[in-house]
Amino acid sequence: MTWRQLIQLPREKGLSIEKKDSPVHVMLKQKFPSADTFGHLRVNGTGHPFRIFAARASDLLYVLLFDREGEIQH
What is the phi-psi region of residue 70: left when phi exceeds 0, alpha when psi lies from -120 to 50, beta otherwise?
left
Higher-confidence residue: 45 or 28?
28
How many Å apart are CA 55 and CA 23, to the nearest integer?
15
Summary mean pLDDT of the chain = 88
What pairs with residue 55 in β-bridges?
38, 62
What is the predicted pLDDT for the residue at 46? 86
How many Å apart are CA 17 and CA 7, to the nearest integer?
9
How many Å apart are CA 12 and CA 37, to the nearest integer?
19
pLDDT confidence band for 71 (50 / 70 / 90): confident
> Does the pLDDT of residue 44 top 90, yes or no?
no
> Does the pLDDT of residue 1 top 80, yes or no?
no
